[in-house]
Amino acid sequence: DIQMTQSPSSLSASAGDRVSITCRTSQSVSRYLNWYQQKPGKAPELLIYVASSLQRGVPSRFSGSGSGTDFTLTINSLQPEDSATYYCQQGYSNPRTFGQGTKVEV
Amino acid sequence: QVQLQQWGSGLLKPSETLSLTCAVYGGSFSGYFWSWIRQPPGKGLEWIGEINYKGITNYNSSLKSRVAISLDTANTQFSLNLSSVTAADTAVYYCARIFAYEGYWVDSWGQGTLVTVSS
């Protein structure tokens, strides 16, 4: 199984800040890496797919980068509604593993 | 816009079988994978398995001996059965639609069902 390591596990930042979350995979997943946002009591929502493609309807302050084993989710100009837990997921091979999550507090 | 609506048993005793069903509204089965993902309380997400529109399945090896995912194309529904449950299977279970062309991602989720295993 491909292991996923996200860092940090949590962060606190102010509205307007720029924050980055890193996801590292135990082996190359090419660009098959996705990012999701989950708010308490809700299902996750897709933000970014294939490393850097922005899902329709997601604000442009969210962006993704990386390939191989190292990926980054960046949130520019952090907003209060961005308080949530963020997960990466590899789509390269079964089982389609997720990172352990990064809790962002604004 | 596709919508996934799920239902099933919410409280089980150890050794019983978990059964959940997910109905797909506003979309076709064709061209997608249909998946189940779970999340224990306060923890992260675990991919359980998937089935494609042809009925081909893939399962997480950690659950493979206990899990079965099936398709009902006539009613555009798919189901999860997980046998011999224990307290470790207590989680919110989500059904999901997977887009798997030049990538693999979940583009639509069900509302989630909390399944509690307790004697």
What is the tens place of the pLDDT at every residue in A8-29?
999 999 999 999 999 999 999 9
Distance (Å, rounded) from C-alpha B58 to C-alpha B43?
A: 23
Residue A79 exposure: Cα atoms within 13 Å on the Cβ side? 6
Alpha-carbon distances, residue B13 vs B39, B79, B90 (angstroms):
19, 20, 11
What is the tens place of the pLDDT at every residue in A45-98?
999 999 999 999 999 999 999 999 999 999 999 999 999 999 999 999 999 999
pLDDT at B63 (0 to 100)? 93
Partner residue opposite B47 with nearest CB, options A45, A55, A97: A97
Contact A32 B46 (CB under 8 A): no
Q: Which residues of chain B have pLDDT under 70?
A: none
Contact B111 A43 (CB under 8 A): yes
For residue B36, the chain A residues in CB contact (below 8 A) are none
Distance (Å, rounded) from C-alpha B118 to C-alpha B94?
A: 20
Contact A1 B112 (CB under 8 A): no
Chain A: nearest CA to B99, how far in angstroms?
A: 10
